[in-house]
Amino acid sequence: MSPFSLAVFDLDGTLLTHGALTREAKRALYTLRQNGIRVAIATGRHRGTVPLALKRAKLVDYLICSCGAVISTPEGKVLYERRLSAKDLQGLMDLGAGYGCTYAVSLGTSTYLSKAQPLRRRRTDGTDARRYPWRYYMYPLHSRQVSSWAQALSRPGFGAEKVVCVPEDPTKELSLRALAQADPRFSATGAAGAAEITKKGVSKGAALAFLMESLGLSRGAVAAFGNDDNDLSLQTQAGRFIGAADSTPAILAVADETAPNIARAALRLCLGEKEQGR
H runs (alpha helix) in the chain: 23-34, 52-56, 86-95, 149-153, 173-182, 204-215, 232-235, 249-254, 262-271
| pLDDT of res. 116 | 65
- Report how far residue 237's alpha carbon sits from residue 209's, in angstroms, rounded to the nearest whole number: 7
- Report how far residue 97's alpha carbon sits from residue 89's, in angstroms, rounded to the nearest whole number: 12
| pLDDT of res. 56 | 75
At 41, give phi and psi (nearest 5°): -100, 135
Beta bridge partners of residue 104, listed in sequence order:
113, 164
| pLDDT of res. 274 | 56
- Report how far residue 43's alpha carbon sits from residue 80's, in angstroms, rounded to the nearest whole number: 15
pLDDT by residue (tens digit) across 178-199? 999 999 999 998 766 789 999 9
Domains of the chain with bracketed CATH:
6-81+202-271 (3.40.50.1000), 84-199 (3.30.1240.10)
| pLDDT of res. 141 | 55
pLDDT tens track, the chain, 278 positions: 789 999 999 998 999 987 788 999 999 999 999 999 999 999 998 888 888 888 877 899 999 999 999 999 999 999 999 999 999 999 999 999 889 888 989 988 888 888 766 544 444 444 444 444 444 444 445 678 888 899 999 999 899 999 999 888 888 999 999 999 999 999 998 766 789 999 999 999 999 999 999 999 999 999 999 999 999 999 999 999 999 999 999 999 999 999 999 999 999 999 986 544 43
| pLDDT of res. 273 | 67
**How many CA atoms lie within 13 Å of 255's alpha carbon, on the beta-carbon side?**
21
| Residues 84, 77 contacting (CB under 8 angstroms) | no
* Single pTM value for the model: 0.88
| Residues 189, 196 contacting (CB under 8 angstroms) | yes
| Residues 174, 193 contacting (CB under 8 angstroms) | no
CA-only gyration radius of the chain, Å: 18
| Residue 170: Cβ within 10 Å count | 13
Among 47, 84, 82, CA closest to 180: 84
Amino acid at 225: F
Among 132, 123, 104, 114, CA closest to 48: 104
**How many CA atoms lie within 13 Å of 18's alpha carbon, on the beta-carbon side?**
7
| pLDDT of res. 33 | 95
